[in-house]
Amino acid sequence: MEKAKRLLKNIFKDKRFVVILIILVILVVLGIIIYNKKYSPTTETMTLDEYYEVADGETAVIIDGDLITKTDANVLGIVRDNKPYVEIKLLNDAIGDVYAYDDVEHTICYTTKEGIYKANAKNKGYTFNAQSVSKDYTPFVEESGRAFLSLEFVKDTNGAEYTFNENPSRAAIYTAGKERTTATVEKDTPMRRFGGNRSKILNTAKEDEVVTVVENYGSWSQILTKDGVLGCVENSYLEDKETSKNKTGAAQENLSHNLMKEKIRMGWHQIFNKTANEQVSSVIATAEGMNVISPTWIQIRDNNGNITDLSSANYVQFCHDKNIKVWSLVSNIEKDVDEGSLFKVAQNRENLINNIINSVTAVGADGINVDMESVGDANVDGYVEFVKELAIKCHEKGLMLSVDNYNVDSANYKVGIQARYADYIVMFGYDETWTGSPTAGSNNSMGFVKEGVEDMLDEGVDKNQLILAIPFYTRLWTQIGQNVTSETVTLKDTPGILTANNATPTWLKENKENYAEWQKGDGKCMIWIVDDKSLKERCDYAMSKNIAGVSAWKLGNETVDTWKMIKETIK
């Protein structure tokens, strides 16, 4: 023992050792300080004002746990009379529905399966199916050329729930029918800006509070409290997790669909004048198995919803005698119509709908086929509201309603909403390469058709509603140098063109269609052929997906055998 004491005494007499020991102690202390600074929980806070950055008269907007960031200084939420209002386009996109804003008459229309809500920017309350409904709020306000919807109005009409808290103002919207995961807070715990103990504290999640779990980050989750605070807590503080759907109402329910019991084999009949109606007997004679015909009778004449009507009761009676239903086609392509003025203005929509219904019922037709092309992104909400309002009228009258749509990749007119109201959705399975395209290509390759059908189903169109439109035409392309032009060639005329140019078609396995090319002077001619063989492939695919049927543009362009193939395949 004495020997050990003498050894330690000699060591501590060594000044070098003492210096080293002091340095080691300092390093250990510094390490502890650095470790604590880096890894121990911070008590530093961030105020909600700093987090939400809300100016006076504005409100932060949280949709299903997602804090919406305003861009380009555009205000997304405002507070008027101590009530929250949210910018209409943002809200439409969030809830997956359409409130149609009319900046001419300063009204908003919203349609559900039960009827039409209409509100005026100057009045409290609104009308439902033309009956006044008293409320203590203004359903929407207009500021700087933009419309902001009252969340109370949205709750009353769409069913979307919300909470609103002040200091700072923040509105949290819960989309009707959307899945939401909730959990109970086990005990008081800090809510941090981000996941991790070094992130600043925003608030405290209280013991036994039920919160919405927005996203799981592993050992941390982002939560939303009932008082509209978004923040992160450790998962160990969350218990009793469960997932359910937000409550729904009439706004999320489909209008009951009036569907045919058999597969649809429809043909479009192009009509330029009333005299052309007399051709119906010859057109039908070569269309064996066709059970729906859609004559192009109703042409929109102006922005006020007036129409040119070529319909014929005799035509309808003749078709009925042949057990063929008649769907009057409504088109916007014959006249220079401003779709913005037509569809956004409520009075113009109403006038157009009344004119269409009067035309169809006057001749005893069975339904309506809407063919509105080049509507434009800015007019989509008004157009969809037109479809919804027209569907309500058709339902009242017992008429079938079908709506033509492009492939979703080409133009998406919110087809999922249309499908909740219209009986049928018709997808154009052609014009893959359009007139005026800078490059030559197929009119309806199999890949294009399949992608279009799958996209429609993904958008929410039920297979029993979906009709695939097939072409009785293709395009003959001519390329001279870098210049490409095309001309339309009917199905029945294609064989003669091939024969005249000694062209031998080659089957394209992937496209599932024939292709031919030949030289003509300085140009190279190319044609992706639409024939009975390629159409059979498309019809077979339609049946493999068990969709509602097919429709062909246009009658008179096919061969005698074409309809026989369609009849044998679409059943």
Tell me which architecture the domain covering 179-251 has in CATH: Roll (2.30)
Q: Coil, strand, or helix at residue 514?
A: strand
Q: Which of 465, 443, 484 is nearest to 545 (CA)?
A: 465
Report which DSSP code applies to 6: H
Contact 163, 169 (CB under 8 A): no
pLDDT at residue 55 greater than cutoff 60: yes
pLDDT at residue 397 greater than cutoff 70: yes
Q: Which of 451, 367, 349, 465 is nearest to 416 (CA)?
A: 465
Q: What pLDDT score does 34 carry? A: 60
Write the burial class of residue 221 (CB in 10 Å: 0-12 exposed, 13-18 middle, 19+ buried).
Answer: buried
Split at pLDDT 50, 70, 90, the class of 73 is low
Which amino acid, 299? Q
- So where are the chain's domains? 49-174, 179-251, 254-471+531-569
Contact 553, 430 (CB under 8 A): yes
Q: What pLDDT score does 1 carry? A: 60
Split at pLDDT 50, 70, 90, the class of 3 is low
Q: Coil, strand, or helix at residue 123?
A: coil
Q: What pLDDT score does 460 carry? A: 97
Domain 49-174: state its class.
Answer: alpha beta
Average pLDDT, the chain: 94
CB atoms near residue 508 (< 10 Å): 16
pLDDT at residue 32 greater than cutoff 70: no
Q: Which of 472, 468, 537 is nearest to 287 (CA)?
A: 472
> Considering Cα of 514, then 515, then 518, then 520, what sign does the dihedral take?
positive
Contact 201, 44 (CB under 8 A): yes
Split at pLDDT 50, 70, 90, the class of 25 is low
Q: What is the pTM of this model?
A: 0.92
Q: What pLDDT score does 334 carry? A: 74
CATH number of 254-471+531-569: 3.20.20.80
Residues 224-274 have pLDDT tens digits of 999 999 999 999 999 999 999 999 988 999 999 999 999 999 999 999 999
Q: What pLDDT score does 332 carry? A: 94
Write the burial class of residue 532 (CB in 10 Å: 0-12 exposed, 13-18 middle, 19+ buried).
Answer: middle
Instruction: Report the percent of the chain where pLDDT is more than 90.
Output: 89
DSSP result, 55-85: PTTB-EEEETTEEPPP-TT---EEEETTEEE
Pairwise CA distance, residues 170 & 51, whole Å? 11
pLDDT at residue 19 greater than cutoff 70: no
